Amino acid sequence: MIKSKWLWAALFIIPAVELFGFIFVADQLGAFKTLLLMLTTSVIGLLMMRFEGNKVLQDSRTHMQEGRVPGRTMLDGLCIFFGGLLLILPGFVTDIVGFSLVFPLTRPLYRIFLLKWIEKKMKNGTFTFYRR
């Protein structure tokens, strides 16, 4: 029940914040420049996501060929995936969060929270993983 409340809150709050940001930026720059800026950030973000995703994929392959578990690189891959999803969504707030997920210097901040969340789920028994 609590999870659905957070989901409903996010479905209303995020678009409202994005609309406010769009109106604010459009007031400062003008509507055409704002649309151009939004399109440019999406294209740059998608290119960064593609580049960083390929780098993480190569690192994962290297780890597996060496017989090591690619744990950190898998978390980086998750961050890049979610960052890419946020970059596809129109808006400046989601672009900022998406860029910070895709950018390698800020990604470790999210990795810490992701590791704590996975550890909590594993301790509770609500996180299931499968081995081959």
pLDDT tens by residue, 1-12: 556 777 888 888
State residue 3's pLDDT score: 66
Q: Which two tokens stand for residue 45?
A: 């973000």
Q: Is residue 52 a contact partner of residue 80, using CB atoms and an 8 Å limit?
A: yes
Percentage of residues in the chain with pLDDT exceeding 90? 15
Helix (H, G, I), strand (E, B) or coil at 97: helix
State residue 30's pLDDT score: 92
Calpha distance 48→83 (Å, rounded)? 10
- Please state, rounded to an integer, the average pLDDT across all residues of the chain: 85
Calpha distance 56→74 (Å, rounded)? 8
Q: Which among 114, 91, 98 has a CA at the least distance from the CA of 48?
A: 98
What's the chain's length in residues?
132
Segment 19-59, tens digit of pLDDT = 999 999 999 999 999 999 988 888 888 888 888 888 888 88
Residue type, 42: S
DSSP category for residue 106: T
Q: Is residue 115 a contact partner of residue 79, using CB atoms and an 8 Å limit?
A: no
State residue 130's pLDDT score: 67
Q: Is residue 124 over pLDDT 90?
A: no
State residue 26's pLDDT score: 92
What pTM, to 2 d.p., does this model score? 0.77
